[in-house]
A and B are shown apart, each in its own frame.
Chain A
Amino acid sequence: MRRQFSLYLRLISIQLRSQMQFRASFWTDVMTTGLLNFSYFFSTYLVLQRFGSIAGWTIAEMAFLYGMIEISFGAMDMIFSGFDPDSFSRFIRQGLLDQVLLRPVSVAVQVFGSAFVLRRLGRITQGALVLAFALINLPVHWTPLKLGLLPVMWVSQIMAMGALFMVGSTLTFWTVQRVEAINILTYGGVEVMSYPMTIYPRWMRGFFTYLIPFIFLNYYPALFILGKPDPLGLPAFTPFLAPLVGGAMLFLASRFWRLGLSHYQSTGT
């Protein structure tokens, strides 16, 4: 276990060094990634100047939802870079996974170590700035429980979204080509979770409650931290389900990953 972890760190440090070779190029990339992601929040900000609020959520409250999920997704997108279905499908298509399988190290560790896209820092930074804007402008009555919930939310969201990346990559064991529909859950999931869940039609909310339980990851913890009443009337412990949901999703995804791996047939190039 320790050996695997130190190996992982070695692989990541190689990644980081190679990405930092072109400094100027790297920082422009970080900047443009950050600005690009920020343009979505900026447009929400502008629109709320005209409308005032959305489903009873002010701009600062919206900033909390948005900033939170952005820092989680950005961090996930960095840690789980190797499992990004877009890059992992290349592993499969080019038969690179054969090499990986031959080495006497866990496949997951090698895939985790195969990429660490540092320019996602841009996305994390803009998310953190928006979150800071929210926390400065919101009259939150902080308690130890609320403070503790923040990092728990963060980690839970990383686990849940990482699980979806893993599932997307695992699917390519069968399809070889990347499955674009998974984007609806990953990139789409981020957008879905950055709005109060009550705005969606019933069937869509049902989908994101029972099938892919996004509702417990961002919306419910946010309700609790911001001290907003729960319009859906779920039990009082609901805001604390995030770690359970994140853990369960990651567990199921890793089982699915193992299943997929055992079904792997090389493209034979």
Chain B
Amino acid sequence: MRLFLHLVKLSILEQATYRTALVAGLATNFFWGLFRAAVIVALYNGRSEVNGLTLEGAITYIAVGQAMIAFLSLFGTFELMATVYSGSIASDLIRPTPLFFLWMARDLGHSLVNLVIRGVLLLGVFALFYPIALPETPLGWGWTALSLIIGWLVSYAWRFLVNLAAFWTPDARGIGRGAFALSQLASGFIIPLRLYPEWFSHLCYLTPFPAMFNTGMEVFLGALSGGQLVRALGVQLIWFLGLVLLSQWILRAGIRRLVIQGG
């Protein structure tokens, strides 16, 4: 655990070095937020509520989505597959920490820096342009935080799993691009899932992707309460555990095939 925290700290320091990149990323996410909010306003076209989602709620959903891009790495990560191709994964496999936790620590550090700088800051600036609906009670904040943390875990486990494709094919990048496009679409990041037609959102609910982002947002907006809330968090957790088990099983098969060229 101490080792894990130390790795997280290193990763925070690494990420915090790239300040201009952080600000540039913030500006880009912010612009896309304004653009997407304009699309939502035009879609609502005067309606105050669509399928239980108010206009203010939908705009908040979009804004938080932009704020969380970097925290949840919604566009995907490709670092692990790069180490398979370069062979540096060998030195990671020798370490006493399991690969899953090693990358989790590295990932978490980056995510935390991005949560503060590209997340909180973005929402703050965005609130100057559009009204943002925040959770109303401390308990609401607590549930939101919990759901976002599990969302992060699901996102991490999914990205870990996708990266394992590199053990089998030299085209893991292409596979990753496709897989991450799918998770963007079905997690609600592009458009809140409630705004899709029923048949499509029900299809999405069968996948682990809503657990990454949509569930957290429903909790954020206070759309879930009581039994529904507990059930939603439980589903998130089950997806996380499922993805962990699947990725561990695949990792073991992958390592067995792994050949590293010396040199």
Main secondary structure of the interface of A (DSSP, over half): helix
A35 contacts across to B, CB distance below 8 A: 178, 181
Would A36 and B178 count as touching, CB distance under 8 A? yes
B177 contacts across to A, CB distance below 8 A: 32-33, 36
8 A Cβ contacts from B4-54 to A: 20-21, 24-25, 27-28, 31-32, 34-35, 38-39, 41-43, 45, 50-51
Would B174 and A43 count as touching, CB distance under 8 A? no
Query: On chain A, which size bracket covers the interface?
Result: 20 to 34
A33 contacts across to B, CB distance below 8 A: 177
On whether A25 and B195 interact (CB within 8 A), knowing A43-B185, A55-B42, A199-B41, the answer reads no
Would A184 and B27 count as touching, CB distance under 8 A? yes
A25 contacts across to B, CB distance below 8 A: 170-171, 174
A188 contacts across to B, CB distance below 8 A: 28, 31-32, 35
Q: How far is B38's CA from A55's CA once the two chains are assembled, in angstroms?
A: 11
On whether A39 and B34 interact (CB within 8 A), knowing A47-B195, A50-B197, A181-B28, the answer reads no
Main secondary structure of the interface of B (DSSP, over half): helix
Q: How far is B192's CA from A51's CA once the two chains are assembled, in angstroms?
A: 13
B200 adjacent to chain A (CB < 8 Å): yes
Residue of B nearest to A198 (CB): B42
Contact with B along A182-198 (1 / 0, CB 8 A): 01100010011001100
On whether A46 and B196 interact (CB within 8 A), knowing A181-B28, A199-B41, the answer reads yes
Would A29 and B171 count as touching, CB distance under 8 A? yes
A128 to B: closest C-beta gap in Å: 19
Question: Residue among A42, A47, A195 with the most chain B CB within 10 A?
Answer: A47
Contact with B along A169-210 (1 / 0, CB 8 A): 000000001011101100010011001100111001000000
Residue of B nearest to A55 (CB): B42
B43 contacts across to A, CB distance below 8 A: 47, 51, 54
A28 adjacent to chain B (CB < 8 Å): yes
A4 adjacent to chain B (CB < 8 Å): no
B72 to A: closest C-beta gap in Å: 18
Would B174 and A47 count as touching, CB distance under 8 A? no
Q: How far is B170's CA from A24's CA once the two chains are assembled, in angstroms?
A: 11
B63 to A: closest C-beta gap in Å: 15
Would B38 and A204 count as touching, CB distance under 8 A? yes
A13 adjacent to chain B (CB < 8 Å): no
B184 adjacent to chain A (CB < 8 Å): yes
Residue of B nearest to A119 (CB): B174
Would B24 and A47 count as touching, CB distance under 8 A? no
B191 adjacent to chain A (CB < 8 Å): yes
A40 adjacent to chain B (CB < 8 Å): yes
Residue of B nearest to A205 (CB): B38
B190 adjacent to chain A (CB < 8 Å): yes
Residue of A nearest to B18 (CB): A177
Would A181 and B27 count as touching, CB distance under 8 A? yes
B28 contacts across to A, CB distance below 8 A: 180-181, 183-184, 188
Would A50 and B50 count as touching, CB distance under 8 A? yes
Q: How far is B196's CA from A47's CA once the two chains are assembled, in angstroms?
A: 5
Contact with A along B157-200 (1 / 0, CB 8 A): 00000000000001100110110011011000011000111001
A94 adjacent to chain B (CB < 8 Å): no
Would A49 and B34 count as touching, CB distance under 8 A? no
Q: Of B39, B51, B170, which is within 8 A of A199 by CB? A: B39
Q: Of A43, A184, A195, A200, which is within 8 A of B190 by CB? A: A43
Q: Top 9 nearest A-B pairs by Cβ distance?
A: A180-B24, A199-B42, A36-B181, A32-B178, A49-B197, A32-B174, A184-B31, A43-B190, A55-B42
A-B contact pairs, 6 of them (CB 8 A): A36-B181, A51-B43, A188-B32, A196-B42, A199-B39, A204-B34
